[in-house]
Amino acid sequence: MDMFIKVLFLVIFFGVMIGVGIYCRKQATNVNGFVLGNRSVGPWLTAFAFGTSYFSAVIFVGYAGQFGWRFGLASTWIGLGNAFIGSLLAWNILGRRTRVMTQHLDTATMPDFFFKRYNSKSLKVVASIIIFIFLIPYTASLYNGLSRLFGMAFGIPYAYCVIAMAVLTGVYVVVGGYMATAINDFIQGIIMLVGIVAVIVAVMNVNGGFNETVALLSQQSATTPSGTEFKGAYTSFFGPDPISLVGVVLLTSLGTWGLPQMVQKFYAIKSEKSISTGTIVSTFFAIIVAGGCYFLGGFGRLFGKMSADGVKPEGGYDSVIPGMLENLSPVLIGIVVILVLSASMSTLSSLVLTSSSVFTIDFIDPVFCSKKKMSEKAKLLWIRILIVFFIAVSAVIAIIQASSPVLFISQMMGVSWGALAGAFLAPFMYGLYMKRVPKAAVWVNYVMGIGISVASFVCNMTGVKFDNAVLEYFKSPINAGMLAMILGIVITPIITLIAPAKDKERVDKIFSCYNKKITVTSKQSINEDEE
Protein backbone atom coordinates (compact mmCIF):
# COMPACT_ATOMS: atom_id res chain seq x y z
CA MET A 1 0.00 0.00 0.00
CA ASP A 2 2.83 2.42 0.86
CA MET A 3 4.51 1.88 -2.50
CA PHE A 4 1.16 2.19 -4.30
CA ILE A 5 0.64 5.71 -2.87
CA LYS A 6 4.09 6.84 -3.98
CA VAL A 7 3.70 5.38 -7.47
CA LEU A 8 0.22 6.90 -7.84
CA PHE A 9 1.63 10.37 -7.11
CA LEU A 10 4.26 9.88 -9.79
CA VAL A 11 1.85 8.60 -12.45
CA ILE A 12 -0.50 11.57 -11.96
CA PHE A 13 2.40 14.03 -11.99
CA PHE A 14 3.99 12.64 -15.15
CA GLY A 15 0.61 12.45 -16.89
CA VAL A 16 -0.09 16.13 -16.24
CA MET A 17 3.38 17.25 -17.38
CA ILE A 18 3.21 15.37 -20.69
CA GLY A 19 -0.42 16.43 -21.22
CA VAL A 20 0.59 20.10 -20.90
CA GLY A 21 3.36 19.55 -23.46
CA ILE A 22 0.89 18.12 -25.98
CA TYR A 23 -1.60 20.92 -25.27
CA CYS A 24 1.03 23.61 -25.99
CA ARG A 25 2.42 22.12 -29.19
CA LYS A 26 0.54 24.67 -31.35
CA GLN A 27 2.44 27.50 -29.63
CA ALA A 28 5.77 25.98 -30.70
CA THR A 29 5.53 26.29 -34.47
CA ASN A 30 8.26 28.93 -34.89
CA VAL A 31 11.44 29.95 -33.07
CA ASN A 32 9.88 32.91 -31.23
CA GLY A 33 7.00 30.75 -30.05
CA PHE A 34 9.21 27.82 -29.08
CA VAL A 35 11.86 29.88 -27.24
CA LEU A 36 9.84 32.82 -25.82
CA GLY A 37 6.19 31.79 -26.08
CA ASN A 38 5.70 34.66 -28.58
CA ARG A 39 6.47 37.10 -25.71
CA SER A 40 2.88 36.61 -24.52
CA VAL A 41 3.41 34.81 -21.20
CA GLY A 42 1.19 36.26 -18.46
CA PRO A 43 2.34 37.65 -15.09
CA TRP A 44 1.73 34.57 -12.94
CA LEU A 45 3.33 32.16 -15.40
CA THR A 46 6.34 34.47 -15.78
CA ALA A 47 6.76 34.80 -12.00
CA PHE A 48 6.55 31.07 -11.38
CA ALA A 49 8.81 30.32 -14.35
CA PHE A 50 11.44 32.58 -12.77
CA GLY A 51 11.09 31.01 -9.33
CA THR A 52 10.99 27.37 -10.38
CA SER A 53 13.98 27.83 -12.70
CA TYR A 54 15.86 29.32 -9.74
CA PHE A 55 15.27 26.51 -7.23
CA SER A 56 15.82 22.82 -7.87
CA ALA A 57 17.09 19.61 -6.27
CA VAL A 58 20.46 21.37 -6.14
CA ILE A 59 18.98 23.76 -3.59
CA PHE A 60 16.79 21.28 -1.72
CA VAL A 61 19.28 18.40 -1.49
CA GLY A 62 22.73 19.83 -2.26
CA TYR A 63 22.90 23.40 -0.95
CA ALA A 64 20.41 23.00 1.90
CA GLY A 65 22.21 19.87 3.05
CA GLN A 66 25.73 21.27 2.85
CA PHE A 67 25.15 24.80 4.13
CA GLY A 68 22.57 23.77 6.70
CA TRP A 69 25.20 21.41 8.11
CA ARG A 70 27.90 24.10 8.03
CA PHE A 71 25.95 27.16 9.19
CA GLY A 72 22.91 25.79 11.06
CA LEU A 73 19.85 28.05 11.16
CA ALA A 74 21.95 30.96 9.85
CA SER A 75 21.75 29.25 6.44
CA THR A 76 18.22 30.71 6.26
CA TRP A 77 19.96 33.98 5.29
CA ILE A 78 20.85 32.33 2.00
CA GLY A 79 17.18 31.80 1.19
CA LEU A 80 16.31 35.35 2.20
CA GLY A 81 19.16 36.66 0.05
CA ASN A 82 17.77 34.65 -2.86
CA ALA A 83 14.38 36.29 -2.29
CA PHE A 84 15.41 39.92 -1.87
CA ILE A 85 18.56 40.11 -4.02
CA GLY A 86 18.03 37.28 -6.48
CA SER A 87 14.31 37.95 -7.06
CA LEU A 88 13.09 41.35 -5.80
CA LEU A 89 16.12 43.41 -6.89
CA ALA A 90 16.58 41.39 -10.08
CA TRP A 91 13.04 42.17 -11.24
CA ASN A 92 13.32 45.85 -10.30
CA ILE A 93 16.76 46.46 -11.81
CA LEU A 94 16.71 44.14 -14.83
CA GLY A 95 13.10 43.22 -15.60
CA ARG A 96 11.67 46.19 -17.46
CA ARG A 97 14.89 47.34 -19.12
CA THR A 98 15.63 43.79 -20.34
CA ARG A 99 12.17 43.41 -21.85
CA VAL A 100 12.25 46.81 -23.58
CA MET A 101 15.77 46.62 -25.00
CA THR A 102 15.63 42.98 -26.11
CA GLN A 103 12.40 43.60 -27.98
CA HIS A 104 13.89 46.73 -29.55
CA LEU A 105 16.97 44.78 -30.65
CA ASP A 106 14.85 41.75 -31.63
CA THR A 107 16.97 39.36 -29.58
CA ALA A 108 15.81 36.02 -28.16
CA THR A 109 19.00 34.98 -26.34
CA MET A 110 21.74 36.50 -24.19
CA PRO A 111 24.53 35.96 -26.79
CA ASP A 112 22.41 37.69 -29.42
CA PHE A 113 21.99 40.59 -27.00
CA PHE A 114 25.78 40.89 -26.69
CA PHE A 115 26.10 40.82 -30.48
CA LYS A 116 23.58 43.59 -31.15
CA ARG A 117 24.35 45.67 -28.07
CA TYR A 118 28.16 45.63 -28.50
CA ASN A 119 28.27 45.11 -32.28
CA SER A 120 30.47 42.00 -32.13
CA LYS A 121 29.68 38.66 -33.74
CA SER A 122 32.66 37.11 -31.92
CA LEU A 123 31.12 37.97 -28.54
CA LYS A 124 27.96 36.19 -29.60
CA VAL A 125 29.69 33.01 -30.73
CA VAL A 126 31.96 32.74 -27.69
CA ALA A 127 29.05 33.42 -25.31
CA SER A 128 27.04 30.60 -26.91
CA ILE A 129 29.96 28.18 -26.41
CA ILE A 130 30.37 29.25 -22.76
CA ILE A 131 26.66 28.70 -22.10
CA PHE A 132 26.58 25.33 -23.82
CA ILE A 133 29.61 24.02 -21.91
CA PHE A 134 28.91 25.37 -18.44
CA LEU A 135 25.20 24.56 -18.28
CA ILE A 136 26.05 20.86 -18.58
CA PRO A 137 27.50 20.42 -15.03
CA TYR A 138 24.56 22.44 -13.69
CA THR A 139 22.13 20.05 -15.36
CA ALA A 140 24.04 16.98 -14.18
CA SER A 141 23.78 18.21 -10.59
CA LEU A 142 19.96 18.29 -10.91
CA TYR A 143 19.83 14.59 -11.67
CA ASN A 144 22.10 13.82 -8.74
CA GLY A 145 19.94 15.46 -6.09
CA LEU A 146 16.69 14.03 -7.40
CA SER A 147 17.99 10.50 -7.82
CA ARG A 148 19.19 10.31 -4.22
CA LEU A 149 15.62 10.93 -3.04
CA PHE A 150 14.22 8.41 -5.52
CA GLY A 151 16.66 5.83 -4.22
CA MET A 152 15.52 6.55 -0.66
CA ALA A 153 11.80 6.41 -1.49
CA PHE A 154 11.64 3.60 -4.07
CA GLY A 155 14.94 1.74 -3.89
CA ILE A 156 15.39 2.34 -7.64
CA PRO A 157 18.98 2.25 -8.98
CA TYR A 158 20.46 5.69 -9.56
CA ALA A 159 20.95 5.25 -13.33
CA TYR A 160 17.28 4.35 -13.88
CA CYS A 161 16.17 7.48 -12.02
CA VAL A 162 18.41 9.67 -14.20
CA ILE A 163 17.16 8.10 -17.44
CA ALA A 164 13.49 8.39 -16.46
CA MET A 165 13.80 12.07 -15.53
CA ALA A 166 15.73 12.84 -18.72
CA VAL A 167 13.18 11.16 -20.99
CA LEU A 168 10.10 12.72 -19.37
CA THR A 169 11.53 16.25 -19.33
CA GLY A 170 12.70 15.89 -22.91
CA VAL A 171 9.24 14.85 -24.11
CA TYR A 172 7.31 17.87 -22.87
CA VAL A 173 10.02 20.41 -23.74
CA VAL A 174 10.54 19.07 -27.28
CA VAL A 175 6.80 18.97 -27.94
CA GLY A 176 5.59 22.16 -26.25
CA GLY A 177 8.61 24.50 -25.99
CA TYR A 178 8.62 27.53 -23.68
CA MET A 179 4.85 27.73 -23.19
CA ALA A 180 4.70 24.11 -22.00
CA THR A 181 7.63 24.83 -19.71
CA ALA A 182 5.94 27.95 -18.30
CA ILE A 183 2.60 26.22 -17.61
CA ASN A 184 4.32 23.22 -16.06
CA ASP A 185 6.46 25.60 -14.00
CA PHE A 186 3.28 27.11 -12.57
CA ILE A 187 1.90 23.69 -11.61
CA GLN A 188 5.26 22.59 -10.23
CA GLY A 189 5.60 25.85 -8.30
CA ILE A 190 2.30 25.31 -6.48
CA ILE A 191 3.48 21.83 -5.54
CA MET A 192 6.76 23.24 -4.25
CA LEU A 193 5.02 25.85 -2.08
CA VAL A 194 2.67 23.35 -0.46
CA GLY A 195 5.29 20.63 -0.21
CA ILE A 196 8.01 22.59 1.56
CA VAL A 197 5.60 23.81 4.27
CA ALA A 198 4.29 20.26 4.85
CA VAL A 199 7.79 18.81 5.06
CA ILE A 200 9.06 21.45 7.53
CA VAL A 201 6.09 20.84 9.84
CA ALA A 202 6.61 17.07 9.68
CA VAL A 203 10.36 17.26 10.37
CA MET A 204 9.87 19.65 13.31
CA ASN A 205 7.34 17.24 14.85
CA VAL A 206 9.90 14.42 14.87
CA ASN A 207 11.58 16.05 17.89
CA GLY A 208 8.43 17.41 19.52
CA GLY A 209 7.95 20.70 17.67
CA PHE A 210 9.86 23.86 16.78
CA ASN A 211 11.00 24.92 20.26
CA GLU A 212 12.22 21.46 21.22
CA THR A 213 14.04 21.02 17.90
CA VAL A 214 15.82 24.38 18.24
CA ALA A 215 16.75 23.55 21.84
CA LEU A 216 18.37 20.29 20.71
CA LEU A 217 20.27 22.09 17.95
CA SER A 218 21.53 24.71 20.40
CA GLN A 219 23.35 21.97 22.30
CA GLN A 220 25.56 21.29 19.28
CA SER A 221 28.94 23.02 19.44
CA ALA A 222 31.08 24.08 16.49
CA THR A 223 34.72 24.87 15.85
CA THR A 224 34.91 28.36 14.31
CA PRO A 225 37.50 29.37 11.67
CA SER A 226 39.60 30.85 14.51
CA GLY A 227 39.81 27.38 16.05
CA THR A 228 37.69 28.13 19.13
CA GLU A 229 34.67 26.13 20.27
CA PHE A 230 31.34 27.93 19.93
CA LYS A 231 28.49 26.41 21.96
CA GLY A 232 25.12 27.04 20.31
CA ALA A 233 26.76 28.19 17.08
CA TYR A 234 24.17 26.50 14.89
CA THR A 235 21.30 28.50 16.37
CA SER A 236 23.16 31.82 16.41
CA PHE A 237 22.23 34.76 14.18
CA PHE A 238 25.12 34.45 11.70
CA GLY A 239 26.35 30.93 12.47
CA PRO A 240 29.92 29.76 13.11
CA ASP A 241 31.43 31.15 9.88
CA PRO A 242 29.74 34.41 8.77
CA ILE A 243 32.42 35.28 6.16
CA SER A 244 31.83 32.07 4.21
CA LEU A 245 28.09 32.59 4.64
CA VAL A 246 28.32 35.97 2.87
CA GLY A 247 30.06 34.33 -0.10
CA VAL A 248 27.26 31.79 -0.51
CA VAL A 249 24.57 34.47 -0.22
CA LEU A 250 26.20 36.61 -2.92
CA LEU A 251 26.81 33.79 -5.40
CA THR A 252 23.36 32.23 -5.11
CA SER A 253 21.54 35.60 -5.04
CA LEU A 254 23.44 38.09 -7.19
CA GLY A 255 24.48 35.29 -9.53
CA THR A 256 20.99 34.97 -11.02
CA TRP A 257 21.46 38.37 -12.66
CA GLY A 258 23.97 36.85 -15.05
CA LEU A 259 22.49 33.39 -15.67
CA PRO A 260 21.06 33.16 -19.21
CA GLN A 261 18.21 30.81 -18.25
CA MET A 262 17.06 33.29 -15.60
CA VAL A 263 17.47 36.53 -17.55
CA GLN A 264 15.66 35.02 -20.52
CA LYS A 265 12.46 34.94 -18.45
CA PHE A 266 12.43 38.75 -18.68
CA TYR A 267 12.55 38.56 -22.49
CA ALA A 268 9.13 36.86 -22.51
CA ILE A 269 7.31 39.41 -20.30
CA LYS A 270 3.93 40.31 -21.79
CA SER A 271 3.09 43.65 -20.16
CA GLU A 272 3.77 46.12 -17.36
CA LYS A 273 1.40 44.16 -15.14
CA SER A 274 3.62 41.12 -15.62
CA ILE A 275 6.53 43.05 -14.10
CA SER A 276 4.70 44.29 -10.99
CA THR A 277 2.97 40.95 -10.38
CA GLY A 278 6.07 38.97 -11.22
CA THR A 279 8.17 40.97 -8.76
CA ILE A 280 5.80 40.31 -5.86
CA VAL A 281 4.98 36.69 -6.64
CA SER A 282 8.54 35.55 -7.37
CA THR A 283 9.82 37.22 -4.19
CA PHE A 284 7.11 35.56 -2.09
CA PHE A 285 7.84 32.25 -3.80
CA ALA A 286 11.56 32.56 -3.01
CA ILE A 287 10.92 33.42 0.66
CA ILE A 288 8.82 30.28 1.13
CA VAL A 289 10.73 27.81 -1.04
CA ALA A 290 14.36 28.95 -0.66
CA GLY A 291 13.94 30.19 2.89
CA GLY A 292 12.14 26.97 3.79
CA CYS A 293 14.77 24.72 2.20
CA TYR A 294 17.71 26.34 3.99
CA PHE A 295 15.78 26.59 7.25
CA LEU A 296 15.06 22.86 7.04
CA GLY A 297 18.70 22.09 6.21
CA GLY A 298 19.78 23.99 9.30
CA PHE A 299 18.55 21.09 11.45
CA GLY A 300 20.55 18.49 9.52
CA ARG A 301 22.96 17.77 12.38
CA LEU A 302 20.09 16.36 14.44
CA PHE A 303 19.43 13.68 11.85
CA GLY A 304 22.93 12.76 10.60
CA LYS A 305 26.14 11.43 12.09
CA MET A 306 29.58 12.98 11.79
CA SER A 307 32.04 11.10 9.61
CA ALA A 308 35.54 10.13 10.70
CA ASP A 309 37.05 13.34 9.31
CA GLY A 310 35.11 15.40 11.88
CA VAL A 311 33.84 17.81 9.20
CA LYS A 312 31.35 16.12 6.87
CA PRO A 313 28.38 13.92 7.71
CA GLU A 314 28.46 10.20 7.00
CA GLY A 315 27.51 9.67 3.36
CA GLY A 316 28.53 13.23 2.44
CA TYR A 317 26.57 16.47 2.38
CA ASP A 318 24.15 15.17 -0.26
CA SER A 319 22.89 12.55 2.19
CA VAL A 320 21.76 15.07 4.85
CA ILE A 321 18.29 15.94 3.51
CA PRO A 322 17.37 12.38 2.41
CA GLY A 323 18.41 11.22 5.89
CA MET A 324 16.02 13.73 7.48
CA LEU A 325 13.11 12.47 5.41
CA GLU A 326 13.49 8.69 5.26
CA ASN A 327 11.33 7.99 8.34
CA LEU A 328 8.37 10.17 7.33
CA SER A 329 5.02 8.66 6.38
CA PRO A 330 4.54 7.28 2.83
CA VAL A 331 2.24 10.18 1.94
CA LEU A 332 4.80 12.77 3.05
CA ILE A 333 7.62 10.95 1.27
CA GLY A 334 5.45 10.95 -1.85
CA ILE A 335 4.95 14.70 -1.44
CA VAL A 336 8.70 15.21 -1.00
CA VAL A 337 9.50 13.22 -4.12
CA ILE A 338 6.97 15.20 -6.18
CA LEU A 339 8.26 18.45 -4.60
CA VAL A 340 11.86 17.78 -5.60
CA LEU A 341 10.82 16.29 -8.93
CA SER A 342 8.89 19.50 -9.66
CA ALA A 343 11.85 21.67 -8.68
CA SER A 344 14.30 19.65 -10.75
CA MET A 345 12.22 19.19 -13.91
CA SER A 346 11.28 22.88 -14.03
CA THR A 347 14.93 23.91 -13.80
CA LEU A 348 16.08 21.18 -16.18
CA SER A 349 13.54 22.21 -18.83
CA SER A 350 14.67 25.83 -18.56
CA LEU A 351 18.34 24.89 -18.84
CA VAL A 352 18.00 22.61 -21.87
CA LEU A 353 15.71 25.06 -23.68
CA THR A 354 18.17 27.90 -23.07
CA SER A 355 21.25 25.92 -24.06
CA SER A 356 19.79 24.38 -27.23
CA SER A 357 18.25 27.63 -28.48
CA VAL A 358 21.44 29.59 -27.76
CA PHE A 359 23.66 27.08 -29.55
CA THR A 360 21.36 26.95 -32.58
CA ILE A 361 20.64 30.66 -32.98
CA ASP A 362 24.02 32.02 -31.87
CA PHE A 363 26.51 29.37 -32.98
CA ILE A 364 25.26 26.99 -35.67
CA ASP A 365 23.36 29.63 -37.67
CA PRO A 366 26.06 32.36 -37.79
CA VAL A 367 29.06 30.01 -38.05
CA PHE A 368 27.85 27.28 -40.40
CA CYS A 369 25.03 29.07 -42.24
CA SER A 370 26.63 32.49 -42.72
CA LYS A 371 26.03 32.58 -46.47
CA LYS A 372 22.40 31.51 -46.35
CA LYS A 373 20.37 32.19 -43.25
CA MET A 374 18.84 29.13 -41.61
CA SER A 375 15.07 28.77 -42.07
CA GLU A 376 12.65 28.77 -39.13
CA LYS A 377 11.87 25.10 -39.72
CA ALA A 378 15.57 24.18 -39.70
CA LYS A 379 16.19 26.18 -36.51
CA LEU A 380 13.33 24.45 -34.73
CA LEU A 381 14.64 21.05 -35.81
CA TRP A 382 18.15 21.86 -34.56
CA ILE A 383 16.83 23.21 -31.25
CA ARG A 384 14.87 20.00 -30.67
CA ILE A 385 17.83 17.81 -31.63
CA LEU A 386 20.11 19.73 -29.28
CA ILE A 387 17.59 19.47 -26.43
CA VAL A 388 17.82 15.69 -26.72
CA PHE A 389 21.62 15.84 -27.03
CA PHE A 390 22.03 18.19 -24.06
CA ILE A 391 19.79 16.06 -21.82
CA ALA A 392 21.63 12.88 -22.83
CA VAL A 393 25.13 14.27 -22.24
CA SER A 394 24.27 15.71 -18.84
CA ALA A 395 22.57 12.43 -17.84
CA VAL A 396 25.70 10.46 -18.73
CA ILE A 397 27.86 12.88 -16.71
CA ALA A 398 25.47 12.56 -13.75
CA ILE A 399 25.74 8.76 -13.83
CA ILE A 400 29.54 8.86 -14.06
CA GLN A 401 29.81 11.54 -11.36
CA ALA A 402 27.78 9.43 -8.93
CA SER A 403 30.77 7.14 -8.45
CA SER A 404 33.24 10.01 -8.02
CA PRO A 405 34.45 10.71 -4.47
CA VAL A 406 35.58 14.21 -5.43
CA LEU A 407 32.59 16.28 -6.53
CA PHE A 408 29.25 16.64 -4.81
CA ILE A 409 26.19 18.59 -5.91
CA SER A 410 27.11 22.04 -4.61
CA GLN A 411 30.59 21.88 -6.16
CA MET A 412 29.21 21.09 -9.62
CA MET A 413 26.65 23.85 -9.24
CA GLY A 414 29.27 26.32 -7.97
CA VAL A 415 31.57 25.81 -10.97
CA SER A 416 28.71 26.28 -13.45
CA TRP A 417 27.05 29.19 -11.68
CA GLY A 418 30.33 30.98 -11.00
CA ALA A 419 31.57 30.73 -14.59
CA LEU A 420 28.31 31.92 -16.18
CA ALA A 421 27.54 34.71 -13.71
CA GLY A 422 31.18 35.83 -13.61
CA ALA A 423 31.32 36.07 -17.41
CA PHE A 424 27.92 37.63 -18.11
CA LEU A 425 26.55 39.54 -15.12
CA ALA A 426 28.49 42.79 -15.43
CA PRO A 427 28.38 43.21 -19.25
CA PHE A 428 24.67 42.40 -19.33
CA MET A 429 23.63 44.67 -16.45
CA TYR A 430 25.83 47.60 -17.48
CA GLY A 431 24.78 47.07 -21.10
CA LEU A 432 21.22 47.93 -20.10
CA TYR A 433 22.20 51.12 -18.26
CA MET A 434 25.52 52.52 -19.54
CA LYS A 435 25.97 53.66 -23.13
CA ARG A 436 29.77 53.84 -23.11
CA VAL A 437 30.63 50.24 -22.12
CA PRO A 438 33.12 48.96 -24.76
CA LYS A 439 33.30 45.43 -26.13
CA ALA A 440 36.76 45.12 -24.52
CA ALA A 441 35.05 45.15 -21.11
CA VAL A 442 32.88 42.22 -22.17
CA TRP A 443 35.95 40.22 -23.23
CA VAL A 444 37.63 40.93 -19.90
CA ASN A 445 34.57 39.58 -18.07
CA TYR A 446 34.50 36.46 -20.25
CA VAL A 447 38.15 35.69 -19.53
CA MET A 448 37.96 36.58 -15.85
CA GLY A 449 34.75 34.69 -15.11
CA ILE A 450 35.80 31.50 -16.87
CA GLY A 451 39.44 31.73 -15.75
CA ILE A 452 38.69 32.10 -12.04
CA SER A 453 36.05 29.34 -12.02
CA VAL A 454 38.17 26.87 -14.01
CA ALA A 455 41.21 27.59 -11.84
CA SER A 456 39.13 26.85 -8.74
CA PHE A 457 37.86 23.63 -10.30
CA VAL A 458 41.39 22.47 -11.17
CA CYS A 459 42.67 23.26 -7.67
CA ASN A 460 39.89 21.21 -6.10
CA MET A 461 40.32 18.29 -8.49
CA THR A 462 44.09 18.14 -7.90
CA GLY A 463 43.83 18.66 -4.13
CA VAL A 464 46.05 21.75 -4.05
CA LYS A 465 46.47 23.31 -0.60
CA PHE A 466 47.43 26.98 -0.13
CA ASP A 467 49.31 28.36 2.86
CA ASN A 468 47.70 31.74 2.21
CA ALA A 469 44.26 31.92 3.90
CA VAL A 470 42.84 34.22 1.19
CA LEU A 471 43.81 31.86 -1.65
CA GLU A 472 42.44 28.88 0.29
CA TYR A 473 39.14 30.76 0.80
CA PHE A 474 38.74 31.51 -2.90
CA LYS A 475 39.67 27.95 -3.89
CA SER A 476 36.06 27.03 -3.14
CA PRO A 477 33.99 27.09 -6.39
CA ILE A 478 31.33 29.11 -4.58
CA ASN A 479 33.72 31.75 -3.27
CA ALA A 480 35.56 31.82 -6.61
CA GLY A 481 32.28 32.50 -8.42
CA MET A 482 31.46 35.29 -5.99
CA LEU A 483 34.91 36.82 -6.60
CA ALA A 484 34.45 36.70 -10.39
CA MET A 485 31.11 38.53 -10.15
CA ILE A 486 32.35 41.24 -7.79
CA LEU A 487 35.48 41.85 -9.88
CA GLY A 488 33.34 42.19 -13.02
CA ILE A 489 31.03 44.71 -11.36
CA VAL A 490 34.02 46.78 -10.18
CA ILE A 491 36.30 46.49 -13.23
CA THR A 492 33.76 47.10 -16.01
CA PRO A 493 33.13 50.79 -15.10
CA ILE A 494 36.90 51.32 -14.77
CA ILE A 495 37.49 49.97 -18.30
CA THR A 496 34.64 52.16 -19.51
CA LEU A 497 36.31 55.27 -18.10
CA ILE A 498 39.69 54.37 -19.61
CA ALA A 499 38.51 53.23 -23.05
CA PRO A 500 34.83 54.08 -23.63
CA ALA A 501 32.92 52.80 -26.65
CA LYS A 502 33.27 55.08 -29.68
CA ASP A 503 30.15 54.18 -31.71
CA LYS A 504 28.01 56.81 -29.99
CA GLU A 505 25.44 57.19 -32.75
CA ARG A 506 24.69 53.46 -32.92
CA VAL A 507 24.38 53.16 -29.14
CA ASP A 508 22.13 56.23 -28.94
CA LYS A 509 19.73 54.51 -31.34
CA ILE A 510 19.72 51.43 -29.13
CA PHE A 511 18.98 53.41 -25.97
CA SER A 512 16.24 55.40 -27.73
CA CYS A 513 13.93 52.48 -26.88
CA TYR A 514 13.75 53.78 -23.31
CA ASN A 515 12.50 57.20 -24.48
CA LYS A 516 9.54 55.93 -26.46
CA LYS A 517 6.34 57.58 -25.23
CA ILE A 518 3.35 55.42 -24.33
CA THR A 519 -0.15 56.21 -23.10
CA VAL A 520 -1.10 55.01 -19.63
CA THR A 521 -4.10 55.46 -17.34
CA SER A 522 -4.21 58.02 -14.51
CA LYS A 523 -3.86 55.15 -12.01
CA GLN A 524 -0.30 54.70 -13.26
CA SER A 525 0.76 58.30 -13.84
CA ILE A 526 -0.48 61.77 -12.80
CA ASN A 527 -0.92 64.34 -15.57
CA GLU A 528 0.92 67.45 -14.34
CA ASP A 529 -0.89 69.71 -16.85
CA GLU A 530 -4.30 69.16 -15.30
CA GLU A 531 -5.70 71.87 -13.04
DSSP run (H or E) holding 229? strand 229-231
Q: Taking the domains of the chain in order of start, what are their residue ranges?
A: 2-515
Any alpha helices (H) in 222-329, and if so which ranges? 242-254, 260-267, 272-297, 320-325
Determine the length of the chain: 531
How many angstroms separate the CA atoms of 41 and 23, rounded? Answer: 15
What is the residue-level pLDDT of the chain in tens, covering all 531 positions? 566 766 777 778 778 878 877 877 776 667 777 776 666 667 777 778 787 777 776 777 777 888 888 888 999 999 999 999 999 999 999 988 998 898 889 888 889 999 999 999 899 999 989 988 888 877 777 776 666 666 666 667 777 777 887 888 888 788 877 777 778 778 878 888 888 888 888 888 888 888 888 888 888 776 666 656 667 788 888 888 888 888 888 878 888 898 888 888 888 777 777 788 888 988 998 999 889 989 998 888 888 777 766 667 877 777 787 778 777 777 777 777 777 777 777 777 777 888 888 888 888 877 776 667 777 788 888 888 888 888 888 788 777 766 655 455 556 667 888 889 999 999 999 999 999 999 999 999 999 999 998 888 888 777 778 777 777 777 877 788 888 999 999 999 999 999 888 888 999 999 998 887 776 665 655 555 544
- Check residue 175 and give its pLDDT: 80
Comparing CA positions, the residue from 429, 420, 99 lying closest to residue 266 is: 99
- Check residue 76 and give its pLDDT: 93
Query: What kind of fold does domain 2-515 have according to CATH?
Result: Sodium/glucose cotransporter (1.20.1730)
Which of the 8 DSSP states describes residue 273? Answer: H
- Angstrom CA distances, 214 to 234, 236, 289, 476, stand at 9, 11, 20, 30
